[in-house]
Structure 1
Amino acid sequence: MKAAVLKSLGQPLAIESIPAPELGTGEVIVQVVAAPVLPYANEVFSGERRYPIELPIVPGCGAIGRVKASGPDATHLKAGDWVFCDPTVRSRDDALTPDITLQGWSSRGEGGLRLHRYYHDGPFAEQVRVPTENAIRIGDIDPEQAARWCALTVMLVPYGGLLAASFQAGETLLVSGATGNFGSACVAVALAMGAGCVVAPGRNEQVLGDLQRRFGERVRTIRLSGNEEEDRERMREAAPGPIDCVIDLLPPSAPTTAVRAALMTVRQNGRVVLMGGVGMLGGAGLDLPYPWIMRNDITVRGKWMCSPEAVPRMAALIRSGLLGLDHIDIATFALDDANEAVVHAAANPGPYRMTVIQP
C-alpha cells in the first residue's frame, strides 16, 4: 500500500509503497478515507516538539475511514462501517493505570513506548491497523463529508476535558487559549453542551472578533495585555457571574503566567482542567498558591485526550445539529502531496480551519 513515511527528523516525508498491515486478534484494519494534518505537525516532524517517537514511522493522529476487516473479538463492527480511528491507544493489562500512546504521533513513558513500537504506524496511509476498541462507529456519513468529520480529532480533546470537569448546561466556562486550534474548538463544543457563557481571552484580535461574530453574546472575548493581575481582573469582569470552570489549552510556547492568570479566575468550589502544552519545553513551573487552592476548595486536574465513550457522544452532538461542521474551512490533499499538506497546515492554523489528507 502507499504511505507517507517519516524516516528522519527534519526531512520530508517519503511517499512510498510499504506492506499492508496484517490483522491480528483484537485488531481492525481500516481503509483510511480522511486523515487530519495538525497545524503543528511540522514541529513534530522536525523534532522541535521533542515528541518521543521511533523512526521510521507512518505518522498521523486520528482518521475517518471504513472497516476493511476485523478480528474474531469484534461482535458489532462489520466491513464497510464508518469509524473514527481514535489515536489514544491504552494498554489492556492494567485497568487502573494503563500505559498510553498516541498511535502515529507520540508515546508516554517506557510502557507507552512499548505500545508505540507495536501500534506504531498512523493514518498517513491507505490503511491503518488499530485496536478493536479504537475503531469507533460514527454511523453512515456521506463520503464527501469524511474530511469534515476529521474535526473530531480536534474537538474531542476539549470535549474530553469538559466531560472530566462534569461541565453542566448553564455554567460559565473560561477557555485559556481560546484563539488557538484546540481552544476555539472548545468554545464551539462548550456552547453545543449548553454553556451559559464562554469567556474567551486571547491576544489575536482578529480571531477574537471572529469568535464573537460566530457565536454572539454567549461568548465574551477579552484581549490580554500580558499583565497577570490586570488580565485576571478583566476576565472576571467579562463574565456575567462567577466562573464555574476553567480549561487550559495553551501551547508549549505560552508562559505559565498566562495560565495562572486564567486559572485563578475560577470561583470558590470551582474546577480547573489542564490540557495544554505549557512546560513541555522547560521553563518555570505553574506555581499555584497552596492557600488559594485549599481555602477555596478548588479542584485542579489534568486530562490527556478523552475517554472512548466521548466519541459516540460527540457524534450524537453533531448529528443532532447542536455542533455544526459546515462552518469549518477544509483544505484537502492527496497522499502523494503529504509534504505540501504539512506546509499548508502550518501556514493556515487557527480556528475552524483544517488540512486533511485523503488517500
Structure 2
Amino acid sequence: MKAAVFYGPNQPLKVEEVPMPVIGTGEVLVKVAACGLCHTDIGYIDHGTPTFKKPPLILGHEISGTVFEVAPDVTTFKVGDHVLLPAVMACGECGPCRQGRGNTCEKMKMFGNDVDGGYAEYVKAPANNLFHLPDEIPLIEAAIIADAITTPFHAVKNRSGVKPGDTLLVFGCGGVGLNLVQLANAAGASV
C-alpha cells in the first residue's frame, strides 16, 4: 500500500510503498477515505515536536474510512461499514476508562504518534475504539470529527458544562476554536 512516511523533523513526507497492516485479535483494518492535517502533525514535521514512536512513522490522527477486514472475534463491525477512528485510543481497562473517561486513559495511544496513522491507504485499529458513521455523512467531511470536533465538544459538554444563557470568550479561532464557537452556540451560549 502507499503511505506518506515521516522520517524526522524538517524533512518532507515521502510517499512510498509500505507493508499492508496485519490485524490481530480484536482489530479491524480500515480503508482510509480521509485523514485531516492537524497542527499536531505540523509540529512533528516543521518544529521537531517528538513522537512517541521513533520515525519512520505514518502520521495522521483525524481518520474516517470503510471497514475492509475484521478479525474473526470482532462482531460489532462488518466489511463495508463506515467508521470514524478517534484521535486517541483508550485501553478500556484503567481506572479512568472504567469511569467512562477514556480521554484521560492512563495507557492511551495516538494514531500518528504512538502507532501508524491515517496518511496511508489502510490503517488498523482496535474494534472497541471505532465509531460507526451513518452512511449519509460523507466520509471526507467526517474525518475532522475525530479531533477538531470531539475536542471542543468535550470542552463544552463535559469540562465546562455550558448551558443556555452562558457567555463565552474563545481565544484562538482556528479549526478547533471555530468548532467550539458553533458548539457553544448550539448549547445556547453567547459567544
TM bucket, shorter chain: 0.7 to 0.9
C-alpha change, 1:23 and 1:50, in structure 2 (3 Å) is closer
Secondary structure of the structure 1 residue equivalent to 2:68: strand
Secondary structure of the structure 2 residue equivalent to 1:174: coil
- The structure having more radius of gyration, on CA atoms, is 1
C-alpha change, 1:91 and 1:196, in structure 2 (3 Å) is closer
- Equivalence for 1:101: 109
- Equivalence for 1:90: 90
CA distance in 1, matches of 2:169, 2:61: 23
User: Larger RCO: Structure 1 or Structure 2 (Cα < 8 Å, ≥ 6 residues apart)?
Assistant: 2
C-alpha change, 1:173 and 1:128, in structure 2 (3 Å) is farther
Aligned AA (1:59): L
1:51 shift after superposition: 4.5
Q: Which 5+ residue runs of structure 1 have no aligned equivalent?
A: 106-115, 199-359
CA distance in 2, matches of 1:48, 1:6: 12
- Equivalence for 1:81: 81
Aligned AA (1:44): Y
- Equivalence for 1:161: 155
- Equivalence for 1:196: 189
CA distance in 2, matches of 1:92, 1:156: 18
CA distance in 2, matches of 1:94, 1:196: 34
Query: TM-score, normalised to structure 2's length?
Result: 0.85
Q: Is 1:131 aligned with 2:126?
A: yes
1:122 shift after superposition: 0.1
- More helix, by proportion: 1
Secondary structure of the structure 2 residue equivalent to 1:154: coil
Number of residue pairs the alignment of both structures matches = 182
Secondary structure of the structure 2 residue equivalent to 1:11: coil
- Equivalence for 1:313: none
8 Å contact from structure 2 (residues 61, 110) kept in 1: yes
Q: Is 1:183 aligned with 2:186?
A: no
CA distance in 2, matches of 1:72, 1:21: 16
CA distance in 1, matches of 2:46, 2:119: 17
C-alpha change, 1:21 and 1:164, in structure 2 (3 Å) is same
C-alpha change, 1:8 and 1:156, in structure 2 (3 Å) is same
Secondary structure of the structure 2 residue equivalent to 1:121: coil
1:40 shift after superposition: 5.0
C-alpha change, 1:160 and 1:177, in structure 2 (3 Å) is same
C-alpha change, 1:135 and 1:10, in structure 2 (3 Å) is same
**RMSD in angstroms over aligned alpha carbons?**
2.1
C-alpha change, 1:94 and 1:179, in structure 2 (3 Å) is closer
Q: Is 1:45 aligned with 2:53?
A: no
1:106-121 aligned at under 5 Å gives the runs 116=114, 120-121=115-116
Aligned AA (1:104): G
Identical counterparts, % of pairs: 26
1:92 shift after superposition: 4.2
* 1:155-175: CA deviation from partner (whole Å, max 9, x where unpaired): 111111222236254141424
- Equivalence for 2:140: 147
1:180 shift after superposition: 2.5
Task: Identify which range, 40-49 or 56-65, moves more after superposition.
Answer: 40-49
1:315-354 aligned at under 5 Å gives the runs none
